[in-house]
Structures are given as structure tokens and as C-alpha cells.
Structure 1
Amino acid sequence: MPAVVSSTVPVVPIHADEIRATAEQVRRLVADQCPRWADLPVTPLPDEVEGTDHVLFRIGDELVARMPKIAWAVGQAESDARWLPTLAPHLPARVPVPLHVGEPGTGFPWLWTVVPWFVGRTPPRLGCDDVRLARDLADFVRALHAVDPAGGPAKAPGARGAALRHVDDAVRRVLPRLAAHDDGFDVRAVEAAWEVCLAAPEWDREPVWIHGDLQPGNLVTDGGRLVAAIDFGALGVGDPAPDVAPALWTFTGAARETYREAIGYDDATWRRACGWALAPSLTGIDYYRHTFPRMAEHGRRMARAVITTLT
């Protein structure tokens, strides 16, 4: 394997203002800041496993460099380093506790991290009817929600884990734009489902730790069992509803019902979870329509699922 493989920059960037690290930059950053890994090969991960806010590079066989590509993600390096070591001992699956927090350099402007590489695969991106995985993920979420939230970072208005009402304006703004396209669902039915979500009582108990983004791409399985949860960019303390949303994001059929029952929250939390499945999906369809078709299609699937569930 060569020491450096040039990354392939997508023809259409996902974000107009993204900054993509290259394998050469990562190699030089590692050599300068982590000399113990300087001789390991640096290899970009394929575009199909890349998410919305980081570019990923394998470092040898056991490490991954996570390089933010958009300004909204730059705080994750410090958040992961601060909180994941505290949470990890309480959780039944592994989490990517940073082994190194890197400084800007070689033309790359932001903090970055090196984390362990977890062997396994992600579940199907458009959902799966895997009851055992649903139980495993529910166990993980219950354990996370049971960790003492004292001192944890509160979710800001508009973030997952805050009140749904803070994203109502964004949903209302995007509905007319969606109505101009055929996305395979009735925009009026989506609006009706959104009203049901908004009408749910807000969370009025103690906040809990939430992952906030337990999509299929952020889960690692091996031998059919959950072995790791990754990408804690939405980590914080707030309403548990976003961690109930994987019933829709990640599961179908009997697994969806298994997860919902195993997670154990009430109907109001379920309706807010539907809201957190719906709101970012609607804005995401619009935002990613031409630049990240896979994400837009995931949003369409979520819109149809919430309509079916609530109306």
C-alpha cells in the first residue's frame, strides 16, 4: 500500500464553503504532530462512506483521522476529547475516544482528531428490519441516558435535543420549496404530521445525555451485533427524543417496533422523536438535493415514514 493516496474531490462539493483536507496534508500533520505514526500509510476513505461534515483518512490499519470540512463541525474535536472519555466506561459498545487532538497546520485551518478504527460494517443506509440490532441499540441508548448529566453541555435552541418549536420556522420556510418538486410525498400531509409533532408536550424532566444522530452510517456492527457508535457531533444534554428517532432513521418493520418498545419512552416523546426525524429530513432534502443525493433520498424516506406513522 503506498504511503499517500490522493483523495478524490467530488465534482460537486456537498457545501459551497467546505474545506477538504488532502491525504498529503494529513500525512504531513501526522508526521509533524504524531511522530509515532509518521511511517503509517495515509489513505482516504471512499466517498460513499463520507458524511456531511468530516473527511476521513485511514492511518495504517487501526486509526482514522477525522478532518472537519465545514465550519459548523469544528467544535467536535474538543467535544469528543472532553466528553467521550467520561461516557465510554458506561456504554455497552465502543465509542471513538480521541487518541490525539491535532492543531491546525499545513494549510488546514481547524482542530482535527485521530480515533480508533472499528472493524465492522454499517447497517443498510435506508434502514433494516434487524430485531437483534434494534435491541442492541436500545441497550446502548438506555445506558447513555442513564449517565449523570451534571455539567454536560446543554443543547442550544435549534439543536437536536432542544425544543422542537425552535426549528418550526425552518420547516415552514422549506415547505413551499418542497412543493415545487415531486419527492414522492404529499407536502400537505407532511405539514399535518409536523403539526402533530409540534403539539406534543415538551420534555419537562431532567435532561439526559444524547448522541443525537444514531443514523445507520453512525453505527458499526460485527457478526450482526452493535460494536460501536461513532460521530458524536450532536452530543449534548437535553430531550431524549432525538435518540428515540432511530426507530425511524435506522429500522423498519418489526425492528422499528422493537426499538420503540425497548427504549421505553412515552407517546409524547415518540411524537417529538418523529419531529426530529422529520425536520432535518425536510430541510435536508432541499439542501442536499443536487449535492448529496443519498442524504436527500434518506430525507424522502423519513418524510414518508413519519406521514405513515402519524396521519
Structure 2
Amino acid sequence: MPDMPPAEVEITTDLARRLLTDQFPELATAFLHTVANGWDNVMIRAGEHFVLRLPRRAAAVDLVRHEQLSLPAIRRLVRVPVPSPRLAGEPTDYYPWPWSVLRWLPGHPAIGQAVAARWFWAAGLADFLADLHVPAPDWAPPNPVRGVPLAARDAAVTRRLASGHVPRSDELSALWRTLLAAPVHAGPPVWLHGDLHPLNLLVERGRLSAVVDFGDVTSGDPATDLATAWLTFDGAGRAEFVVRYSLRTGVDDAVWARARGWALVLATALAEHSDDNAELAAIGTHAITELLDAPDANLAR
């Protein structure tokens, strides 16, 4: 399978310290260590209270700006902690892009927790999304691959399924054709996290402690975020999540059909491009299994 997108700039703690020394010297003596290296950004913890978020490729530059713009508004909507940008770093002659210093949030990525144990906070995540999914302002960041009608992702999904890199592609193709028929989102565009999966959900003492990585933040169809029902949970957790969100928001079955479609969109992307990232690959594999083999899978057939 293809690997993650390659880094266009090597992000190291030495680079981070140089940036801090030049721009935020009050943090330059903090102990630095890399805590995450994703598709778009590298996270480097600075001491006890802060973390640097540095793009590793040009495509992520707008994502940093979108977080800096949107997170102050989102923090006022939700009760679960989300990142708080404290300082906005500027490009230099040795690092070409903007970057952020954020408050460190406690917890560990939910990918490290047994899937069966996640049902314990499934309702809490549903409450977080019910709070978040309110009409977004006109200035919410655009994102052409999140929040849009499923039909807008048809070409990309069809290409992935024909690539030979996605397992069970025939079964997924049949399911995709069914889900594409779901009615489109008819309400106002709502705030979206845009990339809600177990690496972006933090847990502490078995509970949801924070939601992080708002690089894909945008507005649009809430079904995009609701795809986490298949990316994050098993059948029991998903049932808890679906019931709680539905009670809070009154959504209909069409939203959940589109959410299943978005789970397929994201799972196929992870399956195609995460050969060198075992955690992202595992999320894609889990979602494909839940879409095709879980007891509730037949509901979409």
C-alpha cells in the first residue's frame, strides 16, 4: 500500500527550539520531545503545559490557520476540552510556514484503549458533537473534502476502490452505491471537527478528556463527524452514540446513512495511504470491518 504523504520539511526538536528561541524565548529552555507525527503536522511537547504544532508539508499550512481562526469560537460551544492556541508562530528563512503553540491537554489517544471499553464515553462524545453541530458562521473555513455531499467524494472513493490497495473493495463498492442514494443534507451548514477518529480523541481514567486536531475544521453536513460511530466504536458503543446524539438533535435515518457513507470515505482513505502508520491503518481496518460485518451492517443493504 502507499505510505503517508512524505514530509516536505523535517521537523525536529532542534528546529522547534530554534523557532522558540527566535520568537518565544520564554519557552526556549523547556524540555522538548516529539509526541505525534501525523499526515499533516508534527506535535512537539514543550515542558509541562504547552505543545507545538508544526506543519510537515505545505498542504497543512491552511489547516494551522483554520485552527487558529476557529478554535476560540468552538471552545465557547463545547464542554469537552479542545486545544487552545496561545501563540501564533511565523514563517522564517529556515522554516517556511506558520505554526502554533497550544495548551497541552491531558490524556492518551483513544487508539490505545480497547474498542469495547470506549462505549463508556460514547454518550459523552455524542454530547460533544450535539453541542458543536450548530449553524456555523459565514467565515468558517472552507474544506472541499469534508462536509460536502457524498456525491462530491464519489470519484475519489471509486478510484480508491479500484486501486487494489483497499481490502474487500467489491463489498465496499456495493455498499457505497447504496449509501450514495441517501438524501443530501438540507439544513444549514454546521460546525464540523472534520477528522474525528481515535487518534484525535483523548481519554484519561477511562473517560473522554479532550478532542484534538481541528486541522480539518469546517462547516457542512454533520454526517461527516458522525462517521466516528464506525471509526471509533464497536456495535455496543455505536448504539450508545447513535441513540444519545439522536435524542439530543432529533436527526433522521438519512443522517446516519450519510454518516455510514462518510465512514466508508474515510476508511478507504486510511486503507490506501497508511501503510507506514500502523495506528491509522488499524482505524481504517476497524471501520471496514464494522461497516461490513457488524450486526448493524445489514441495515444499509
On whether the aligned pair clears a TM of 0.5, the verdict is yes
- RMSD between superposed Cα atoms in Å: 2.0
Contact 1:129 1:256 in 2 (8 A): no
Contact 1:247 1:259 in 2 (8 A): yes
* Partner Cα distance (1:26, 1:64) in 2: 10
Query: Structure 2 vs 1, CA of residues 170 and 60 (structure 1 numbering), >3 Å: closer, same or farther?
Result: same
Runs of 4+ more than 4 Å apart: none
Report the Cα offset of residue 195 of structure 1: 0.9
Contact 1:210 1:235 in 2 (8 A): yes
| Mapped pair 1:137 → 2:125 | yes
Contact 2:71 2:83 in 1 (8 A): yes
* Partner Cα distance (1:182, 1:151) in 2: 37
Report the Cα offset of residue 239 of structure 1: 0.3
- What residue is the counterpart of 2:244 in the other structure? 262
Report the Cα offset of residue 268 of structure 1: 1.0
* Partner Cα distance (1:59, 1:67) in 2: 13
- What residue is the counterpart of 2:286 in the other structure? 301
Query: Structure 2 vs 1, CA of residues 152 and 261 (structure 1 numbering), >3 Å: closer, same or farther?
Result: farther
Query: Structure 2 vs 1, CA of residues 38 and 17 (structure 1 numbering), >3 Å: closer, same or farther?
Result: closer
Contact 1:25 1:106 in 2 (8 A): no
Query: Structure 2 vs 1, CA of residues 274 and 41 (structure 1 numbering), >3 Å: closer, same or farther?
Result: same
| Mapped pair 1:153 → 2:140 | yes
Equivalent residues in 2 for 1:213-292, closer than 5 Å: 213-264=195-246, 265-289=251-275, 291-292=276-277
* Counterpart selection for 2:188 from 161, 186, 206: 206
Query: Structure 2 vs 1, CA of residues 284 and 257 (structure 1 numbering), >3 Å: closer, same or farther?
Result: same
* Counterpart selection for 2:37 from 40, 50, 53: 50
- What residue is the counterpart of 1:8 in the other structure? none
Provide structure 1 residue ranges, at least 5 long, that are not aligned to the other structure: 1-11
TM-score, normalised via structure 1 length? 0.87
- What residue is the counterpart of 2:60 in the other structure? 73
Query: Structure 2 vs 1, CA of residues 131 and 182 (structure 1 numbering), >3 Å: closer, same or farther?
Result: closer
- What residue is the counterpart of 2:110 in the other structure? 123
Query: Structure 2 vs 1, CA of residues 33 and 13 (structure 1 numbering), >3 Å: closer, same or farther?
Result: farther
| Mapped pair 1:102 → 2:89 | yes
- What residue is the counterpart of 1:113 in the other structure? 100
Query: What whole-Å deviation, never above 9, does each CA across 1:22-47 have from its counterpart, x for those lacking one?
Result: 111110101111122122122222xx
Contact 1:219 1:230 in 2 (8 A): yes
* Partner Cα distance (2:166, 2:137) in 1: 46
Query: Structure 2 vs 1, CA of residues 244 and 162 (structure 1 numbering), >3 Å: closer, same or farther?
Result: same
* Partner Cα distance (2:95, 2:283) in 1: 31
Instruction: Determine helix, strand or coil for the equivalent of 1:90.
Output: coil
Amino acid in structure 2 at the alignment position of 1:113: S
Amino acid in structure 2 at the alignment position of 1:21: I
Contact 1:211 1:235 in 2 (8 A): yes
TM-score, normalised via structure 2 length? 0.89
Percent identity over paired residues: 34
Query: What whole-Å deviation, never above 9, does each CA across 1:205-249 have from its counterpart, x for those lacking one?
Result: 111111121211111122222221100011111000012111111
* Partner Cα distance (1:154, 1:80) in 2: 9
| Mapped pair 1:20 → 2:10 | yes
Amino acid in structure 2 at the alignment position of 1:90: L
Amino acid in structure 2 at the alignment position of 1:23: T
Higher relative contact order structure (alpha carbons within 8 Å, sequence separation ≥ 6): 2
Query: Structure 2 vs 1, CA of residues 257 and 115 (structure 1 numbering), >3 Å: closer, same or farther?
Result: same
Amino acid in structure 2 at the alignment position of 1:246: T
Instruction: Determine helix, strand or coil for the equivalent of 1:21.
Output: coil
Query: Structure 2 vs 1, CA of residues 28 and 115 (structure 1 numbering), >3 Å: closer, same or farther?
Result: same
Query: What whole-Å deviation, never above 9, does each CA across 1:235-285 have from its counterpart, x for those lacking one?
Result: 111000012111111111311111011111321111111111111321332
* Partner Cα distance (1:34, 1:173) in 2: 45
Contact 1:40 1:60 in 2 (8 A): yes
* Counterpart selection for 1:195 from 172, 177, 185: 177
Report the Cα offset of residue 117 of structure 1: 0.9
| Mapped pair 1:166 → 2:180 | no
Instruction: Determine helix, strand or coil for the equivalent of 1:212.
Output: coil
